[in-house]
Amino acid sequence: MTIAPRALIFGVTGQDGAYLARFLLTKGYEVFGTSRDADVARTAGLVSVAGEGRVTLISASPVDFRSVFSSISRCTPDEIYNLAGQSSVGLSFSQPVETMGSIAVGMLNILETVRLLNPRIKVYNAGSSECFGDTGEEPADESTAFRRRSPYGVAKAAAFWQVANYREAYRLFCSSGILFNRESPLRPQRFVTRKIVRTAVAISKGSPERLRLGPLDITRDWGWAPEYVEAMRTMLQAETPDDFVIASGCSHSLEAFVAAVFQEFGLDWRAHVDRDEAFVHPTDIAISRGDPSKPNRQLDWHARVTFPEIIRRLVAAELSAAQSAPC
């Protein structure tokens, strides 16, 4: 009788956590997931993609070592995926201490627990393109220097180097995925992409509201979240642990994103958008672009969903949500 592999996902109720849980379930895993308080966790997104009751939720705070140790001891996982932590770049400027603690300290607690409890557990760390800062005209790969420009980027860089240190010093199987921007219908409304789509849908239905945004000339490498989580598991199936840039390799300006969304409704975005200095970060990144050659080559992972298709899927999901919402 084959025993199902066990996975523990820290941060399972977020966008990536929900899609990763669904993907692992299709691969025959027994999936556990953490939330700070499992009894009151917002699980609508998780349930919508993974199904009711298919993931065992447990309470755990990544910043509390005892909590992390207890969770891993209880679940006895074969693989751990750390997707927890404060996830908003903008919010990190007003909450830098919380950001550093939830990301860097949380990762350290997981690594130290694995080292002490069971060094055979494989660990995935959710890195971020924010570590690179402004990539300029050259897309960032695994050898590109980190020039982080936000408290969020600083925290993610600290977690990345912790993983590298534990891999080298203690021979743990731990890998970091340096993920560029990825979207899905599960994006919270505080994220600018969801805000754009939601507002465009409202305007198309006759709302007089205006879309207020910061600089539109910033450029990002956008991908589709459900396929990016596939790369996470693939990293842990490799013969040796390593770090990988996960990106589409194509970048577009925020203006292009806005224009494409409004075009889905036959609207000229310029008639509905205002610049708002409140959304200008102290150190905005102008260009963020990734080079996924290494995962393409070594993991046979490729971003398949194109930018226009991402826009169409996001708009369709928002329209569906608007139609099903109570009046």
The string of DSSP letters for 144-196 reads SPP---SHHHHHHHHHHHHHHHHHHHH---EEEEEE--EE-TT--TTSHHHHH
Contact assessment for residue 15 and residue 186, using Cβ atoms and an 8 Å cutoff: yes
Q: What is the pLDDT of residue 282?
A: 67
Which pLDDT belongs to residue 2?
A: 72
Q: d(Cα 43, Cα 301) in Å, to the nearest integer?
A: 29
Question: What integer pLDDT is reported at residue 326 of this predicted model?
Answer: 61
Helix (H), strand (E) at residue 31: strand 30-35
> For residue 207, what are its two tokens?
């709302």
Q: What are phi and psi of 93, to 5 degrees?
A: -70, -30
Q: Where are the domains of the chain?
A: 6-182+224-246, 186-220+251-288+305-324
The tally of CA atoms less than 13 A away on the side-chain side of residue 226 is: 15
Spatial distance between the Cα atoms of 187 and 275, rounded to a whole number of angstroms: 22
- Tell me whether the CATH fold assigned to 6-182+224-246 matches the one assigned to 186-220+251-288+305-324: no
Q: Which CATH class is domain 6-182+224-246?
A: alpha beta
Instruction: Give me the pLDDT at residue 94, please.
Output: 81
pLDDT < 70: residue spans in the chain: 1, 37-41, 279, 281-282, 325-327
Alpha-carbon span 87 to 113, nearest angstrom: 23
Helix (H) or strand (E) holding 273: strand 273-275
Q: 3.90.1720.10, 3.90.25.10, 3.30.1360.20, 3.40.50.300: which CATH number matches 186-220+251-288+305-324?
A: 3.90.25.10
Strands 30-35 and 55-59, sheet pairing: parallel
Q: Which residues participate in catalysis according to the annotation?
A: 128, 130, 152
φ and ψ of 283, to 5 deg = -135, 75
Q: Dig out the tokens for 146 from the structure.
A: 């980190």
Task: Give the separation between CA 213 and CA 198, rounded to whole angstroms.
Answer: 13
Query: In Å, how far are 60, 68, 292 from 11, measured between CA atoms?
Result: 9, 12, 25
Are 108 and 161 in contact, with CB atoms under 8 Å apart? no
Q: Which tokens is 151 given?
A: 């408290």
Instruction: Identify how many contiguous H helices and E strands the chain contains and give both numbers.
Output: 12, 13
Give the sheet arrangement for strand 79-82, strand by strand: 55-59, 30-35, 6-10, 79-82, 122-128, 174-179, 244-246
Instruction: Record the tokens describing residue 129, joined without a space.
Output: 């393109």
The whole-number pLDDT of residue 40 equals: 63
Q: For residue 38, what pLDDT is reported?
A: 66
User: Quick one: pLDDT at residue 1?
Assistant: 62
What is the identity of the amino acid at 96?
P
182: Cβ contacts below 8 Å, ≥ 6 apart: 16, 222, 223, 224, 225, 228
State residue 278's pLDDT score: 73
